[in-house]
């Protein structure tokens, strides 16, 4: 055996001397980890090759595996034992995919092997791997299959996210849409900016408005616009702050973390008592009585949540959007929504004329209708219906647009007789400094649409300052 080993090593040295190539293996799991930690480079190579094949018809390989995701997208994978050529800085390289079955096991060991010219390996390797990772990142950004996760114990359970809502289907004033999509795009490309000012790369949105005003649809539109996964965090199922931390640490970058009905999810006993005592006129209070009576012991606390949104733990991932929703902004502790935590305050109100026209266009294919004028007068007179209510009527009558419009009109008239939906602000939208006492310059965006012919920041507002931020 000694002679055999010697012959083997002689053969290897001779082969190494004669071959003009160097080979680098990229295993699926980190070689030196006992816990089978995923090797991020493997994922990058996999995405890169997928992107390479999709982008270039000249990137021929002998054989590819094809798969289709639940959302209908095709993915290419290099079939085991096959290679895909590439070029970088004028040099020819190639990747080969290996899949070995482990002895006495059903498990497979996967890896990619990179072949590059030996003489240039030092100059090529690191720049090429950087190029692979950044291309994979870009490919992932626009082609990833989104997932929706919810917490179950200390783990997340996820399903493919196929919500069809988008900023095209959402009935919002066009100017407001532009403002919001600009904000989101600016955020998603601001990695270097956040780093340069020493801030965690995250952005907070507070969405508030009555049930059916489109908060969930808005979140889905954001996820589809940015191609971010959604983590729907059910705070009432989290037993304490350390469980919250464990969950948040498992969330991936490029994601939206949603906490719905934030006012009902936290045990902010003192605060809620104060509010409830003050607002006896809130007959439709959304506050969960058990939260009020409970002393909050052993549960997620406000400081536990703040530690994640703003404290040291806020940096445990990057490119995150945190969204809180509530039906009653008044019940949310100001500490939770101060700037830096919740950067944008978006009010989704009752349906205004702009939103109504968009709904009629989307649901009924109507560009104009004789009843629009009367409907606008109804809205001005205090008629208040949510987009959800109107959408439902239009959906039901989609075969007969006239009947749909008549039903919507009757419902608006009925809501006036009943004294409106109690959301008079919903008949217009504007972007102003928060008029409800937040003099710190955070934005309140009020939507619905009657006056929606432009964004008119109040004098002294921070429209320009915020614009400068990017």
Ligand X SMILES: Nc1ncnc2c1ncn2[C@@H]1O[C@H](COP(=O)(O)OP(=O)(O)OP(=O)(O)O)[C@@H](O)[C@H]1O
List interacting residues with ligand X (CB under 6 A): 170-172, 211-217, 327, 355, 359, 387-388, 391
CB of 448 to ligand X, least distance (A): 9
Shortest separation between residue 395's beta carbon and ligand X, angstroms: 9
Closer CB to ligand X, 171 or 247, in the complex = 171
Nearest to ligand X of 246, 388 (CB atom): 388
The token duo for 382 is 């205090």
Burial class of residue 407 (count of CB atoms within 10 Å of its CB; 0-12, 13-18, 19+) = middle
Smallest gap from residue 214 Cβ to ligand X (A) = 3
Q: Compare residues 94 and 236 and give the one whose CB is closer to ligand X.
A: 236
51 vs 44, 80, 86, 147, CA distance in Å?
Answer: 10, 18, 12, 20
The least distance separating ligand X from the CB of residue 459, rounded to whole angstroms, comes to: 29
Q: How far apart are the first and last CA of the chain?
A: 68
Half-sphere exposure of 332 (CA within 13 A, CB side): 25
Residue nearest to ligand X (CB): 214
Helices 387-396 and 401-417: angle between axes, nearest 10 degrees: 140
If the CB atoms of residues 76 and 324 are measured against ligand X, the closer one turns out to be: 324
Instruction: Kindly give the pairing relationship between strand 147-152 and strand 202-208.
Output: unpaired
Q: Decide whether 42 or 331 has the Cβ nearer to ligand X.
A: 331
Q: Give the C-alpha separation, 364 to 173, whole Å.
A: 18
Dist. CA 362–CA 58, nearest whole Å: 41
- CB nearer ligand X, residue 214 or residue 317: 214
Nearer to ligand X, 51 or 349 (CB): 349
Whether residue 258 contacts residue 231, with contact meaning beta carbons closer than 8 Å, is answered with yes
Structure tokens at 19: 């071959």
DSSP 36: -
Is 131 exposed, middle or buried (CB count within 10 Å of its CB: 0-12, 13-18, 19+)? middle
Beta strand 83-88 with 202-208: parallel, antiparallel or unpaired?
unpaired
CB of 461 to ligand X, least distance (A): 25
93 vs 355, beta carbon nearer ligand X: 355
Beta bridge partners of 349: none
| C-beta closer to ligand X: residue 163 or 237 | 163
Query: With helix as H, strand as E and coil as C, how does 168-202 read?
Result: CCCCCCHHHHHHHHHHHHHHHCCHHHHHHCCCCCE
Shortest separation between residue 286's beta carbon and ligand X, angstroms:
9
The minimum distance between CB 391 and ligand X, in angstroms, equals 4
Q: What is the DSSP letter of 315?
A: G
Maximum Cα–Cα distance across the chain: 100
Do you know the residue count of the chain? 470
CB of 421 to ligand X, least distance (A): 13
Cβ of residue 388: shortest distance to ligand X, in angstroms?
A: 3
């Amino acid at each position: 055996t000694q002679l055999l080993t010697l012959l083997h090593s002689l053969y290897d040295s001779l082969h190494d001397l004669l071959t003009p190539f160097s080979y680098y293996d990229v295993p699926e799991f980190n070689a030196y980890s006992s816990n089978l930690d995923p090797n991020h480079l493997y994922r990058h190579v996999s995405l890169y090759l997928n992107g390479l094949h999709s982008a270039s018809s000249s990137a021929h390989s002998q054989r590819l595996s094809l798969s289709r995701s639940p959302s209908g997208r095709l993915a290419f994978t290099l079939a085991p034992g096959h290679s895909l050529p590439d070029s970088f800085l004028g040099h020819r390289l190639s990747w080969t995919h290996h899949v070995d079955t482990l002895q006495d096991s059903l498990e497979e060991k996967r890896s990619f092997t990179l072949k590059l010219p030996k003489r240039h390996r030092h100059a090529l390797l690191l720049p090429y791997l950087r190029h692979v990772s950044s291309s994979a990142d870009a490919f992932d950004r626009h082609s990833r299959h989104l997932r929706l996760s919810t917490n179950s114990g200390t783990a997340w359970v996820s399903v493919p996210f196929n919500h069809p809502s988008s900023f095209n289907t959402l009935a919002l004033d066009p100017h407001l849409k532009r403002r919001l999509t600009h904000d989101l795009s600016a955020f998603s490309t601001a990695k270097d900016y956040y780093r340069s000012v020493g801030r965690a790369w995250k952005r907070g949105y507070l969405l508030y408005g009555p049930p059916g005003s489109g908060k969930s649809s808005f979140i889905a539109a954001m996820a589809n616009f940015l191609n971010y996964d959604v983590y729907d965090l059910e705070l009432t199922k989290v037993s304490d702050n350390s469980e919250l931390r464990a969950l948040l640490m498992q969330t991936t970058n490029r994601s939206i973390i949603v906490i719905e009905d934030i006012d009902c999810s936290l045990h902010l006993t003192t605060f809620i008592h104060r509010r409830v005592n003050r607002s006896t006129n809130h007959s439709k209070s959304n506050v969960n009585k058990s939260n009020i009576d409970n002393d909050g012991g052993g549960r997620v606390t406000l400081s536990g949540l703040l530690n994640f949104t703003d404290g040291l733990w806020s940096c445990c991932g990057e490119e995150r959007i945190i969204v809180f929703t509530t039906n009653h902004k008044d019940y949310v502790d100001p500490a939770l929504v101060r700037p830096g935590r919740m950067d944008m305050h978006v009010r989704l109100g009752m349906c205004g004329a702009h939103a109504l026209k968009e709904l009629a266009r989307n649901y009924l294919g109507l560009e104009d209708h004789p009843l629009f004028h009367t409907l606008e007068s109804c809205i001005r007179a205090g008629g208040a219906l949510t987009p959800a209510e109107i959408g439902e009527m239009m959906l039901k009558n989609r075969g007969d647009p006239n009947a749909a419009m008549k039903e919507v009109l009757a419902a608006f008239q009925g809501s006036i007789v009943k004294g409106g939906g109690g959301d008079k602000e919903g008949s217009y939208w504007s972007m102003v400094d928060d008029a409800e006492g937040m003099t710190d310059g955070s934005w309140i965006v009020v939507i619905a649409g009657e006056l929606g012919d432009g964004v008119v920041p109040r004098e002294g507002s921070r429209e320009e300052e915020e614009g400068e931020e990017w």
